[in-house]
Structure 1
């Protein structure tokens, strides 16, 4: 064995021990380039460190993407803003960075009837935020509420809500489907109250605030929940015709016509 071979094997072991996996596949190529071009030692070390940092960033985003549980294929590029002209594309793109609101614990509320793309837009924002370094969790509101109810029965509700603090943003899809039940809505209210001005929520809802009495069991809780949500919030209203209904009508009109004359417009939006 040559000294170079021994040193290379020793370095591989050291990189493993120091947990520097980003450097392991690249160090020999960079070392060869450094020797050939006569790099100073500082430049060589800086190049190794840059590769390690880039690899850690990539792996961190991969982990955060997996834990976010975002529905597949829902991106801002695939969202058809023309079908919801009341929603500003420029505003949504600004929200996608997260810098101006997530650090303040502000919220986003998406309102509109079923089928206008609320879930798609919420998931697409979540994806963009993960790519920008934020931690996100996408969940149906009923699923999360059921988990919190189990935690309450096990006397661990406070701990369960505290664990959700690791997410900069919770996306609660379809809040309207929570049943008007004291046990369900009380844990939902406690979640809203616990995150108030500390961590952000993005909520999609079919009903306007005036109908939220169907969600919470009494007026006082309804008003308190709304007050906390809207205090620092961006509200986007998507009051347009359901794209699913529109496509169904277009398909119906197209029956019996020659294929060349039948046109189905695809909006690129998801279920609301």
Structure 2
């Protein structure tokens, strides 16, 4: 009776079960377990844990990739002391991500360069790391996407996806004004998530100036009411991060 090739059988079974990490590292784990004189239970548990850890890491990577962040920014990279005072005060609470579980919005409002996009992307990446489904877009790109979907008759599919994201980040509200059609489409889609799913909005305009974007006082009032209901509103007015970085860069150049 021929001796069974256990290594080959483990490889075949792990491939069939799509256990790629076990397939690639089985012999290595066997060697380490033999050297430690590990029990069968310990060996099996550690082998499965390695497979699970790899899957978790791949899932985190894929959530971040699918979120479509324009670049990566992490909360750990924020210089807390340079954030506007209100952001310093509220960031600790926002970092818990409780607002996602509660379906509450976050509005970061203030002048350019104060860390709004950095904070929103940092919160988004943290959410991806913790298992939430996130999508990042700018408001102008969102409106264009909705219009394209409508013309291609794929709007219902887009709406279904849009409603299901745990967190949508809509950046740059107010940097570009849009027509009445765009305003209505934006209002409709953001309303789909109201009081159910979380949306982070960054804007350089105070609420009093949102009429410049929507060009309709009734719609403006309705949009503000929907978005701000039980929302975390963070005053991001302060000194510009980018101006500080530019000043430091110029000073460094003079020292060269």
TM-score with structure 2 setting the length: 0.88
Give the CA deviation at 1:90. 6.3
Give the CA deviation at 1:176. 0.8
5 Å-filtered alignment, 1:208-247, equals 208-245=206-243
5 Å-filtered alignment, 1:49-64, equals 49-64=48-63
Give the CA deviation at 1:42. 2.8
TM-score with structure 1 setting the length: 0.83
Find out whether 1:180 has 2:175 as its counterpart.
no
Give the CA deviation at 1:79. 2.0
| Counterpart Cα distance in 1 of 2:8 and 2:67 | 39
Aligned to 1:153: 151
Please list every run of 5 or more consecutive structure 1 residues that lacks an aligned counterpart in the other structure. Answer: 263-272
Please list every run of 5 or more consecutive structure 2 residues that lacks an aligned counterpart in the other structure. Answer: none
Find out whether 1:121 has 2:123 as its counterpart.
no
Give the CA deviation at 1:247. 5.6
Aligned to 1:101: 99
- Counterpart secondary structure, 2:107: strand
Question: C-alpha offsets along residues 168-187 of structure 1, whole Å, 9 cap, x if unaligned?
Answer: 11111101134331221111
Give the CA deviation at 1:72. 2.9
| Counterpart Cα distance in 2 of 1:102 and 1:236 | 16
Aligned to 2:254: 259
Question: C-alpha offsets along residues 210-247 of structure 1, whole Å, 9 cap, x if unaligned?
Answer: 11111224222212211121113111111113344456
- After superposition, the Cα gap between the structure-2 partners of 1:163 and 1:72, relative to the gap in structure 1 and judged at 3 Å, is same
Question: C-alpha offsets along residues 173-208 of structure 1, whole Å, 9 cap, x if unaligned?
Answer: 101134331221111111111111222111000111
| Counterpart Cα distance in 2 of 1:155 and 1:222 | 28
Whether contact under 8 Å (1:178, 1:185) holds in the other structure is: no
- After superposition, the Cα gap between the structure-2 partners of 1:127 and 1:172, relative to the gap in structure 1 and judged at 3 Å, is same
**Matched residue pairs, number?**
255
| Counterpart Cα distance in 2 of 1:40 and 1:241 | 60
The 4+ residue runs of structure 1 with deviation greater than 6 A are 249-252
